[in-house]
Amino acid sequence: MKTKNGASEIAKKIKLIIFDVDGTLTDGCIYMGPEGEAMKAFSARDGMGIALAHKGDIKSAVITGRSSRIMAKRGKELKIDALYQGCVDKRGAYEELKLKLSLRDEEIAYVGDDLNDIPLIQQAGLGCCVGDAVSEVKELALVVADYPGGKGAVREILEFILKEQGKWDSLVSTFTGKKAAEGVSQ
Amino acid sequence: MKTKNGASEIAKKIKLIIFDVDGTLTDGCIYMGPEGEAMKAFSARDGMGIALAHKGDIKSAVITGRSSRIMAKRGKELKIDALYQGCVDKRGAYEELKLKLSLRDEEIAYVGDDLNDIPLIQQAGLGCCVGDAVSEVKELALVVADYPGGKGAVREILEFILKEQGKWDSLVSTFTGKKAAEGVSQ
Amino acid sequence: MKTKNGASEIAKKIKLIIFDVDGTLTDGCIYMGPEGEAMKAFSARDGMGIALAHKGDIKSAVITGRSSRIMAKRGKELKIDALYQGCVDKRGAYEELKLKLSLRDEEIAYVGDDLNDIPLIQQAGLGCCVGDAVSEVKELALVVADYPGGKGAVREILEFILKEQGKWDSLVSTFTGKKAAEGVSQ
Amino acid sequence: MKTKNGASEIAKKIKLIIFDVDGTLTDGCIYMGPEGEAMKAFSARDGMGIALAHKGDIKSAVITGRSSRIMAKRGKELKIDALYQGCVDKRGAYEELKLKLSLRDEEIAYVGDDLNDIPLIQQAGLGCCVGDAVSEVKELALVVADYPGGKGAVREILEFILKEQGKWDSLVSTFTGKKAAEGVSQ
């Protein structure tokens, strides 16, 4: 992972993370069938990452240019807090969501991969991208994942944020049975 | 990307780009189900590239040997200007399209990956191929992408053409909000 | 493959191997369609490995957090001895299975890839993980495969166990027609 | 590609090539859906290779342990000469086919990837395997492809055979328009 411009400090304050879909929550493949889009390939490990973020009091949302029942199904399964589909310009959905949750830009992370993600990567406090994002996006993002989209990039970014917020060890300890260092003190 | 024989000069004049499907717009997998072809795996980033090409006044077409409702669905989504399917010999469709759009060979780019793409790679002004094309095709193409088919090769080739035509920065600026250098002058 | 803490000795006593599904028996992709999960990508070679394990008197089971008719279908095809789906905490299913088969922890291997597999990787005698497991899991597993999940990790681990039990050459000889060394003696 | 034991000389006499399916004509993924096997991922380039082999007077067949309407669909599309499915022991189908076509073992090539392919890799004159075959198979095959199954291995092996038979350049020339060296002489 590559970070810049005080990404660590910003990560500490994140209360909401917003994801693009194709190329970010998926590997960027559009699996088209005879009746329309047949499926999308999500990552089970990204799903676990999102569940951990929720436990760590970080909300999640999706803002995407395409529109599908597929994303609605997966969004419900992941218990995503808000889902905006068919957004030609993603800024409208972003502003609506920011207002609804009473958040400031510096409390929001956004993860994308392509040119239409640039406006929100620039506006959100923590602009992030997947490891195989296009060069223009990589240049502007404060956090560039090592893993490509749909193959663990979202998990990697969530782990970074949760670690910066000091919540990771405690979340992992629910699986290992070991109390995390910061949990032991109380 | 590898280019040869004045590919840059030819790229400047391209008005139409024609794509093969399997192995070019897809990764070459034929996903067969019990009722026939179940789906094709297209690239979301190639889709964005084609949308940008259209904005940059480059037309797009598909000429393919196979035939499927799948390609028709994706072609409609991508707003492809012309779609020819089931072409045993692709030259017939090429000639028809050239005539219909009143274009000369030097204004046409063609992207393919396998032996049956050779006639059009030889005839079109800008014969291009994906990074994992067969060796005979790579030898004849003026432009050989780094990315494999269905994984960004088409985006890479479109970006090359749009950059050579001086349109890329201006197209990107619609996302970044920054006026491109050539746009500022006027 | 990386092994530690006397993995070889433990492998010799294994009578049951339990698999996680997503990321272990599959590559971790959740292929979501408009009507729910469309499919899972299993490995034919893992399937052959499980068939060989059965011939070598090792039982097999699946304990997974998700729930799908897909896994039920594949489980039946593989003749898995026991299938537990929808397990929020996998330990309950593990204890039930251990009791039912009258086994001790040291006779059980478990293969997983993510944080929710940690309790069983710690409890089973032979805690194993796929090559692309998350770092916390790799650290705790006694056996870390080279191959990633859904791409041969399960086959690799089964081959290791069957070799340690001195059964591999004999199983292979049924295909090559050559009597294995240990088979010839009688 | 790695060859041994006079593979070149044997390749010159091949009149029939037989393929395993999962892991050979496909990448070894079993794509299971809620209603059974959802699809198989074949390679478009392998398909072109099989079409060229047919033009070069080499017959093709499939002998597989699994059974699916999927392979029947793809086999019809590829105009495979014979299709045997659900073969627990592949030798029965092999002998039947050999008799039916009045061929000797040295005129037959077989391509496989896993242990159950060993009997036919040993019996056919030209035992071949994909680049990611299991080690026991690689050891016994006379031809080991560089490309993995479902990703060009079959094309690579067919190209090798057609080149050894002096038919490749002539077949390629039907696409390039150039007469092949051996075609010019007459």
Integer Rg of chain B from CA = 16
> Does B172 reach chain A within 8 Å, measured CB to CB?
yes
| Strand, coil or helix: B167 | coil
Specify the pTM. 0.94
What's phi and psi for A170, nearest 5 deg? -65, -40
Q: pLDDT class for A139, splitting at 50, 70, 90?
A: very high
User: Mutation test of the interface with chain C: which of D30, D138, D139, choosing the one with the most C Cβ atoms within 10 A?
Assistant: D30
Cβ B127 vs Cβ B19: under 8 Å: no
Strands C16-19 and C59-63: parallel
pLDDT score, position D177? 85
pLDDT category at B159 given cuts 50, 70, 90 is very high
CB proximity B99 to A under 8 Å: no
Q: Are D173 and D179 in contact, with CB atoms under 8 Å apart?
A: yes
Tokens, residue D103: 């061929």
CB proximity list for C168: less than 8 A, separation 6 or greater: C159, C162
Round to whole Å and give the CA distance between D74 and D21.
Answer: 11
Query: Using CB atoms, which chains have 3+ pairs under 8 A with C?
Result: A, D
Is the pLDDT at A45 greater than 70? The verdict is: yes
E-assigned strands of chain D? 2-3, 16-19, 29-33, 36-43, 59-63, 82-84, 108-112, 126-129, 143-144
Neighbours of chain B (3+ CB pairs under 8 A): A, D
* Chain position carrying tokens 């019990």: B34
Partner residue facing B119 (CB), from D68, D70, D175? D175
Residue type, C14: I
DSSP C174: H
Instruction: Give me the mean pLDDT over the A147-173 stretch.
Output: 98
Give the closest residue to D80 by CA, choosing from D66, D64, D92. D64
Most B CBs within 10 Å: which of D37, D62, D167, D175, as the mutation test of the B interface? D175
Mean pLDDT over residues D3-29, rounded? 96
pLDDT digits (tens, 9 = 90+) for D87-118: 988 999 999 999 999 999 999 999 999 999 99
Mean of pLDDT values over A88-104:
95
Mean pLDDT score across all residues of chain A: 94
Amino acid at A47: G
Interface partners of chain D (CB pairs < 8 Å, 3 or more) are B, C
C-alpha to C-alpha distance for B143 and B127, rounded to whole angstroms = 7
Q: Which candidate, C74, C70, C54, C72, places its Cα nearest to that of C162?
A: C54
Chain C partners within 8 Å of A150 (Cβ): 29
Query: Which strands make up the sheet holding D2-3, listed edge to edge?
Result: D2-3, D143-144, D126-129, D108-112, D16-19, D59-63, D82-84
Confidence tier at A181 by pLDDT (50, 70, 90): very low
- The percentage of chain D sitting over the pLDDT mark of 90, rounded to a whole number, equals 91
**Which residue among A36, A39, A45 places its CB closest to the CB of C32?**
A39
Which residues fall within 8 angstroms of residue D14, CB to CB, at 6 or more apart? D58, D107, D108, D109, D125, D126, D161, D165
Burial A65-100 (b: 16+ CB within 10 A, else e): bbebebbbbbbebbebbbbbbebeebeebbeebbee
Q: What per-residue confidence (pLDDT) applies to B78?
A: 97
* Backbone phi and psi for residue D152, each to the nearest 5 degrees, phi listed first: 115, -5
Q: Give the model's pLDDT for residue C181.
A: 46
The beta strands (E) that lie in chain C are given as 2-3, 16-19, 29-33, 36-43, 59-63, 82-84, 108-112, 126-129, 143-144
Q: What integer best gives the mean pLDDT of chain B?
A: 94
Residue B66's pLDDT band, with cuts at 50, 70 and 90, is confident
Q: Which of D43, D74, D176 sits opposite B28 (nearest CB)?
A: D43
State the average pLDDT over residues D61-79. Answer: 95
Task: Test B119 with D40 for CB contact under 8 angstroms.
Answer: no
Looking at residue B179, its pLDDT comes to 58
For residues B98 and B79, what is the distance between their CA atoms, to the nearest angstrom? 19
Q: What is the pLDDT of residue C66?
A: 86
User: Do A44 and C34 count as a contact with CB atoms less than 8 A apart?
Assistant: no
Interface size between A and C, measured as CB pairs under 8 A: 65
Please give, rounded to a whole number of angstroms, the shortest distance from the CA of C145 to a CA of chain A. 18
Which of D110, D115, D123, D137 to substitute to test the interface with C, most C CBs within 10 Å?
A: D115
Residue B178 has pLDDT above 90, yes or no: no
> Is C172 within 8 Å of chain D by CB?
yes
Least Cα separation, residue D40 to chain B (angstroms): 5
Edge-to-edge strands, sheet with A2-3: A2-3, A143-144, A126-129, A108-112, A16-19, A59-63, A82-84
Mind listing the pLDDT tens digit for each residue in B69-102? 999 999 999 999 999 999 988 999 999 999 999 9
What's the pLDDT score for residue D185? 37
- Which residue spans within chain B are E strands per DSSP? 2-3, 16-19, 29-33, 36-43, 59-63, 82-84, 108-112, 126-129, 143-144
Element (H, E) at B123: helix B118-123
Rounded Cα distance, B103 and B97, in Å:
8
List, as ranges, residues 102-141 from C with C-beta within 8 Å of D: none
What does the pLDDT read at residue B50? 98
What are the CA-CA distances from residue A33 to residues B60, B138, B165, D39 (Å)? Answer: 21, 30, 35, 12
Q: Which residues of chain C have pLDDT under 70?
A: 178-186
Looking at residue C19, the DSSP 8-state letter turns out to be E
Q: Domain-by-domain residue ranges, chain B?
A: 2-174
Alpha-carbon torsion angle C138, C144, C145, C147, nearest 10: 20
Residue A172 has its nearest CB partner, among C33, C113, C136, at C136
Contact A68 C34 (CB under 8 A): yes
pLDDT digits (tens, 9 = 90+) for D105-164: 999 999 999 999 999 999 999 999 999 999 999 999 999 999 999 999 999 999 999 999
Contact (CB<8Å) A44/C30: yes
* Chain D residues touching residue C47 (CB < 8 angstroms): 30
CA B125 from centre of chain: 13
CA B106: distance to chain centroid?
15
Residue A185 has pLDDT above 60, yes or no: no
Hey, is D104 helix, strand or coil? coil
Report the alpha-carbon distance of residue C164 to residue C158 in Å, rounded: 10
Select from C29, C90, C135, C136 the residue whose CB has the most chain A CBs within 10 Å, as the one to mutate to test that interface: C29
Nearest to C114 by CA among C95, C94, C93, C135: C135
**Buried b / exposed e along D100-138 (16+ C-beta atoms within 10 A):** eeebeeebbbbbbbbbbbbbbbebbbbbbbbbbbbebbb
What pLDDT is stored for residue D184 in this prediction?
Answer: 39
Q: What topology is assigned to C2-174 in CATH?
A: Rossmann fold (3.40.50)
